[in-house]
């Protein structure tokens, strides 16, 4: 039995830099992974089967074929077929929330199954883009710069210690609808330094950038504006912004301890979490 963490993906900024002729948008984003996660467990079995539990699992109960199964079958096919596994997903991250929960689950499945089946990591990297724009980044599961349509990843600038508060108003957001609502000019790629000495200087630089999906997401879900206002008012908050296509938003805090304390001040009806970044995997794909 092999267990892999699927941590929440957070876009510290997200610029839409263009659109390809096939309609896919080009991105530029600084991505980190928070210390709150789903967990995928795999074991040898004669056929594919998926079980789920965790506080957010009921939201997936109506899906006949979610990304965990799609990732497992895609990897098996790419490896030549004849492979199977029993899979279990512990779901702690809200569904359709802009923090890559499904993509992180798919990536964790690929990482676990490459070990279980002895499949070369290059096969998982080849399968990942077809599963979603965030899956290649979630395979890496460490701070990175993401571009292209999500398939191009590069190391992030050197990051200081900092904390994150995540909050979601319990409203699912359909990512394709938000991208379709993007209007007007495209942003240029961000100019980032080689690193930041502290959380305050990082937040000040990031404040000059944007999440270009924030405005159309607020039009779709006005509650996002309330979440952003609540995060910005937290004691010690350095920056509040939406992640991905929403509706989860984040606040950058000076450290993990202050983030954990601040999260408890948010409405208990929201999904909320505070802490530090996820520990990077020993051997990312």
Active-site residue numbers?
9, 134
Instruction: Extract the runs of DSSP E, i.e. beta strands, from 220-279.
Output: 239-242, 249-253, 271-275
Q: Report residue 100 as tokens.
A: 């890559």
Judge contact between 37 and 6, C-beta under 8 A. Answer: yes
H or E element that contains 128: helix 121-131
Beta carbons of 86 and 43 less than 8 angstroms apart: yes
- Rounded CA-CA distance 54/93 in Å is 9
Is-contact 2 112, C-beta < 8 A?
yes
Query: Cα(43)–Cα(123) distance, rounded to whole angstroms?
Result: 19
- 211 by DSSP, 3-state: which? strand
């Amino acid at each position: 039995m092999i267990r892999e963490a699927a941590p929440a993906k957070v876009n510290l900024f997200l610029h839409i830099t263009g659109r390809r002729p096939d309609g896919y948008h080009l991105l530029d984003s600084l991505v980190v992974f928070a210390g709150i996660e789903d967990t995928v467990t795999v074991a040898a079995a004669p056929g594919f089967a998926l079980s789920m539990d965790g506080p957010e699992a009921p939201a997936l109960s109506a899906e006949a074929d979610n990304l965990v199964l799609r990732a497992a079958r895609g990897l098996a096919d790419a490896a030549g077929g004849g492979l199977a596994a029993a899979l279990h997903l512990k779901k702690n991250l809200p569904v359709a929330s802009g923090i890559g929960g499904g993509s992180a689950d798919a990536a964790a499945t690929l990482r676990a199954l490459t070990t279980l089946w002895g499949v070369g990591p290059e096969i998982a990297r080849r399968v990942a883009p077809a599963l979603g724009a965030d899956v290649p980044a979630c395979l890496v599961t460490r701070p990175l710069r993401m571009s292209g349509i999500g398939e191009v990843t590069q190391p992030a600038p050197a990051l200081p210690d900092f904390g994150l508060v995540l909050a979601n108003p319990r409203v699912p957001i359909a990512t394709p609808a938000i991208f379709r609502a993007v209007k007007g000019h495209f942003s240029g790629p961000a100019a980032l330094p080689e690193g930041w000495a502290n959380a305050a200087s990082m937040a000040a630089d990031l404040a000059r950038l944007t999440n270009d999906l924030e405005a159309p997401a607020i039009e779709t879900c006005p509650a996002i504006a309330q979440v952003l206002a609540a995060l910005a008012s937290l004691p010690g908050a350095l920056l509040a912004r939406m992640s991905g296509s929403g509706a989860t938003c984040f606040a950058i805090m000076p450290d993990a301890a202050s983030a954990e304390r601040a999260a408890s001040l948010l409405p208990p009806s929201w999904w909320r979490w505070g802490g530090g970044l996820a520990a990077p995997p020993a051997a990312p794909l």
